[in-house]
Each structure stands twice: as structure tokens, then as C-alpha cells.
Chain A
């Protein structure tokens, strides 16, 4: 079946630095990918919709200048958390649709 690969699986960074998370569709093309954030014991919250070759669409309340999304090819979307702070620590998950939703394994971001 369809596979979405997400890297890194875990990252620790210092406050004020930026972190990039990659999401790749391995055996299908994805013109659209989705980025979610999940806090402990909570459900997934959609942050933004990544569109190949155009600007991402952000959900209400998500800072687009803080969470930069680039979708430069049909198989790769990246999420960059800029000037990360401890409150950005969370589990970030990407997804693409290949008939049904296919999700990456998630990235655990810890900002210290």
C-alpha cells in the first residue's frame, strides 16, 4: 500500500533555532499533503494543507510565518518550525491521500 515517510522521527533543539521536518510520499504522487500537530493525550489538530507548487493553506490560529511549509515536488513537503520555543514542543504528523489517508510516523519535537 501507499507509504508516507517522515523524518526525523525525533528531534531536540535549542530555543530560538529552526527545525525542518520532511514528509515524502514514497510510491505515489501527492499534490496535497497535510500537517497535523498533536499534544499528549489529545487528538490530531490540522495545522495546514500543503499544495504542490503553490502556497500552503493554514488553519485559523496557526502562524504561517512560524510554521513554514514548502511543497516543491509531487512527493515532498517540508515543515520548518522557525525560532522554536518550548511551547512548540509537540508531535508533528504529515499525511497524504492515496484513496484513503496515509500518515507519516510522526516527529517528536522537543525544544529546550
Chain B
């Protein structure tokens, strides 16, 4: 599995934008970039995914570098409920029922 690297922790002020980086220098051309987050004492939840172009949904935006070796999850206006561990995961394009392999993720703390 291609590896991702994320900072262990980040802090952000409430109501400010948050940029969570992920490096994936060994990404292959057929890997999607997925982001999940895990709130305290809960299972992970899907946030967003993309292949090459930037993506937006109601939860977040995903900015993908032109060479695809890095990506950034953007929370436009952080709230206290966004405090979680965020995981960046690569999945093959024909993933079917392929397992998700979790790295260490980034623990995001939101400061009121």
C-alpha cells in the first residue's frame, strides 16, 4: 500500500479555516485520495475523496497538488465539533471491496 504522511497534531481557532496536509509521494496513477475523520469514541466517518481535481462537498474541500504527491483537506470554518483525528488514505481506483489501511492521522484540536 502506498504510504501517507500527516502531522501528528494541529490546533486551530474556532471559526477559522483549517488546512490539514497529507503527503503521499509514492501515490500511483490509479490511487484515489480519501479522507476520513474519527470523533472521540466513535467510528471513523467519510469526509471526502478525489483523484486529480479539487473537490468540494458540504463538509470540506480537498485540494490536490498538480503532481498528486500531496493534498490538503480544508475545513472552511472550524467548529468545536470538528475536533477529531483526520486520516488521509490512498485507495486504488478499482477498489471494490479493498480494505482501508489507516495511518496515524492528524489530531485536530479546536480552540474556542
Contact = CB atoms under 8 A, between A and B. Distances in A.
Given A100-B46, A101-B46, A95 B100 contact: yes
Contact-residue size bin, chain B (C-beta under 8 Å from the other chain): 20 to 34
Contacts of B103: 43
Interface string B4-20: 00000000000000000
B21 interface: no
A44 B44 contact: yes
A93 interface: yes
Given A43-B104, A100-B34, A49 B45 contact: no
User: Chain A interface secondary structure, helix, strand, loop or mixed?
Assistant: strand
B99 A46 contact: yes
Contacts of B105: 43
A77 to B, nearest CB: 13
A34 interface: yes
Interface in A8-54: 31-32, 34, 36, 43-46, 49
A93 B44 contact: yes
B102 A44 contact: yes
Interface stretch (A60-68, A80-88, A103-111): A103-111
Indicate the member of B38, B87, B105 with the most A CB atoms within 10 Å.
B38
Interface of B: 34, 36, 38, 41-46, 49, 87, 95-105
Interface of A: 4, 6, 31-32, 34, 36, 43-46, 49, 91, 93-95, 97, 100-106, 108
